Chains A and B, each alone.
Chain A
Amino acid sequence: NAGVMQNPRHLVRRRGQEARLRCSPMKGHSHVYWYRQLPEEGLKFMVYLQKENIIDESGMPKERFSAEFPKEGPSILRIQQVVRGDSAAYFCASSWTGGNQPQHFGDGTRLSIL
């Protein structure tokens, strides 16, 4: 499967725990984007990364959220001390270059907070 791979597909956490969401971009893509989709709302941009660099994190909440895209391995979106309001679908997308290339999306991770 050469598409964008996200795991896990579903993640359940209790309030106060940490959530780690993983994203492997399409083969040959070096640009990764994370979006969040809250119930009954549209997709909202969170962060844009290239290998080892955060390019734009203007959509990330200031606290508890962080993202990385290391030289080797998948991109990770990390949410510390989760709260009920973090329950959402988190989608990762990748593109071949930044700009003027379509972003292709993974199937998302559905995060539920108990």
Chain B
Amino acid sequence: EDKVVQSPLSLVVHEGDTVTLNCSYEVTNFRSLLWYKQEKKAPTFLFMLTSSGIEKKSGRLSSILDKKELFSILNITATQTGDSAVYLCAVEASGYGNKLVFGAGTILRVKS
């Protein structure tokens, strides 16, 4: 069965800290890995990763994929209170459908 595991489950940091969120997966026919940020409403798309070792960057956020070790990390530098959210990792498996298999999420709280 396809599985995505995120760690830690929750994290509390102070503004300005750097955080690293982890995502490991076991999926047949891996196609891509995606990161989303969920506040109170819709999960908001952050990154889509398909190739190993290529870092994707957007402002203070960056992410990288290791297809050999089957994991990805999401880094947030110089955290701000607005980064407080649930960060979701999802994996897309190729095949007849294109469903996403989600991890349980990491709850990040940034204190001022």
Contacts and interface: CB of A to CB of B under 8 A. Distances in A.
Given A42-B105, A45-B99, A100 B31 contact: yes
Interface string B86-101: 0010101010111111
Interface stretch (A13-21, A68-76, A103-111): A103-111
B102 interface: yes
A67 interface: no
Contact of B104 (A41, A102, A106): A41
Interface of B: 31-32, 34, 36, 41-45, 48, 50, 88, 90, 92, 94, 96-105
A79 to B, nearest CB: 19
B42 A42 contact: no
A64 interface: no
Interface range for A: 20 to 34
Interface of A: 3-4, 31, 33, 35, 41-45, 48, 55-56, 58-59, 91, 93, 95, 98-100, 102-108
B99 A91 contact: no
Contact of B42 (A98, A99, A107): A107
B45 A102 contact: yes
Contact of B50 (A33, A41, A100, A108): A100
B98 A44 contact: no
B42 A105 contact: yes
